[in-house]
């Protein structure tokens, strides 16, 4: 086996572990059938904070009716809720529920779990060496 083939296998295993961690997080949230696109919408809501229907339509490059349909679905799934603007009652903000936040941040959380597994498997010197090696990759 060449070094590149071995590296491929090692990284494939890391990706598998990260995927398992993501699945655990989704399972903890009671989610079994969410799409990558839906996760992307939840991430957009999470990243932009004060998101209205119009701003989410612009961010995601969708029509307002598409966003309304998606938000209605997310409300039923308990991923988001609508909050009326205190200054203008015609405006509603789309807010993530705790469940929605956990899903939006699942990839980050999964990566943190992988890092925890790595930290549990390596001593401090090995961790420092791994960091130095990975920092060289650009």
Distance CA 138, CA 136 (A): 6
**What confidence tier does 3 reach under pLDDT thresholds 50, 70, 90?**
very high
Residue 33: partners with Cβ closer than 8 Å, 6 or more residues away: none
Please give the pLDDT value at position 138.
85
**What confidence tier does 31 reach under pLDDT thresholds 50, 70, 90?**
confident
Domain that holds residue 60: 11-135
Please give the pLDDT value at position 32.
76
- Considering the chain, what percentage of its residues have pLDDT values greater than 90? 78
Calculate mean pLDDT across residues 101-116.
Answer: 92
Q: pLDDT by residue (tens digit) across 13-23?
A: 999 999 898 88
Are residues 52 and 94 in contact, defined by beta-carbon separation less than 8 angstroms?
yes
Q: Within a domain: residue 2?
A: no
Q: Within a domain: residue 90?
A: yes
Find the CATH number of the domain harbouring 38: 1.10.10.10
Q: Within a domain: residue 1?
A: no
CA–CA distances in Å: residue 41 to residues 59, 70, 74: 9, 9, 10
Q: pLDDT by residue (tens digit) across 39-81?
A: 999 999 999 988 999 999 999 999 999 999 999 999 999 999 9
For 130, the token pair is 């791994």
- How many structural domains are present in the chain? 1
């Amino acid at each position: 086996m060449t070094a590149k083939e071995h590296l491929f296998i090692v990284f494939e295993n890391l990706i598998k572990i990260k995927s398992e961690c993501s699945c655990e997080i989704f399972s903890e949230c009671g989610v079994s059938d969410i799409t990558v696109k839906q996760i992307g919408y939840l991430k957009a809501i999470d990243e932009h904070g004060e998101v209205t229907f119009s701003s989410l339509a612009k961010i995601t490059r969708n029509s307002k009716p598409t966003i309304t349909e998606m938000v209605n679905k997310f409300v039923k799934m308990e991923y988001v809720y609508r909050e009326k603007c205190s200054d203008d009652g015609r405006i509603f903000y789309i807010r993530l529920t705790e469940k929605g936040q956990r899903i939006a941040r699942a990839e980050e959380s999964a990566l943190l779990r992988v890092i925890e597994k790595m930290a549990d498997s390596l001593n401090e010197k090995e961790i420092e060496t791994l960091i130095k090696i990975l920092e060289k990759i650009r």
